[in-house]
Amino acid sequence: MILVTGGAGFIGANFVHQWFQAGDEGAIVLDKLTYAGNLGSLEAVTGKPNFHFVHDDICHRSVVQSVLARHRPRAIVHFAAESHVDRSIHGPAQFLQTNFIGTFELLEAVREYWGALPGAERDAFRFLHVSTDEVYGSLQESDPAFGETTAYAPNSPYAASKAGSDHLVRAWHHTYGLPTLVTNCSNNYGPYQFPEKLIPLMILNALDGQPLPVYGDGHNVRDWLFVTDHCAAIFRVLAQGRIGQTYNIGGGCERRNVDVVRSICSVLAALRPRPGGYESQIRFVRDRPGHDRRYAIDAGKVEAELGWRPQETFDTGLARTVRWYLDHADWVARVRDGRYRQWIDLNYESGQGS
């Protein structure tokens, strides 16, 4: 059995689905169920006898200790985090609490648990911390992609809180010997993503006839990674990664934001035709503070050491994503509650998520 923190969120839920599809080993999901955590994303696995859900906060060390003692997981996959850059600009305190303090509390509970395991279980145990390419800062157009040794230079409260959590994980390995692994991924997209992030927001706004807000000149570049490819990489790192190492995971799909939005419009025009199409809804809006210009990931290490490569191109992954949102209107309706609407109203002038 493994413990998955944040398993009701976007990437975590996809990981849990793939975990149960891959074999018979069980999983415990520990999730606070904030605005982006949705048990509805786990409906397909909640009836399984080897699935367990705990509704609580990683900041509560005693709860984590109790879960570890009761279920005795062989590994932790740590997704739980506040992850939206715009939200971190408006309210950084929660990002520090969850991403930094929460990771500290989790590490301390896990260190105590791991230290008491018998020899073979102790040797086999792993703590995998899922992080982001945003810790590395911003690239210029001609700069090489981020590597595992790129210096940290976070530019948003979100990125700073994740950088801090990465440093904690590294320190707990080097100081205490905790068998840790760290992954830093590029921008994920796919099913179950909360509709404040760029791709699902553009899909749903387009369908609703609403403006498609694009920050600044729209030329900010992101490397896009389909979520199931990311989860497959995490599987490899958990099973075969070298203890204490960091692995960068990217899709090899750099795109300007405005080109992503245009691609969404093109896919929608094919799947849900509308007179005049959707591109006329694009609106360029005031840029957000500290908006990083470009992210790019060099995934050569995980490819060379573990044999992982993304299976989806941006075009195939985007088509799958748009179809999923078209086919899951009930899921969308359930997550677009009052808090989501208030958030969109608050930020509509300044645009969309990263």
Catalytic residues, by residue number, are: 133-134, 158
Give the burial class of 280: count Cβ atoms within 10 A of its Cβ; 0-12 exposed, 13-18 middle, 19 or more buried. Answer: exposed
* 102 φ, ψ (degrees, to nearest 5): -60, -45
* 148 φ, ψ (degrees, to nearest 5): -65, -20
Q: What is the DSSP string of 309-335?
A: -----HHHHHHHHHHHHHH-HHHHHHH
The token pair that represents 22 in the structure block: 């891959």
Handedness of CA 82, 249, 147, 254 (dihedral sign): negative
* 125 φ, ψ (degrees, to nearest 5): -65, 145
Report yes or no: 247 and 181 within 8 Å, Cβ to Cβ. Answer: yes
Residue 141: helix, strand or coil by DSSP?
A: coil
Measured CA to CA, the distance from residue 47 to residue 43 in angstroms comes to: 8
The token pair that represents 271 in the structure block: 């799947």
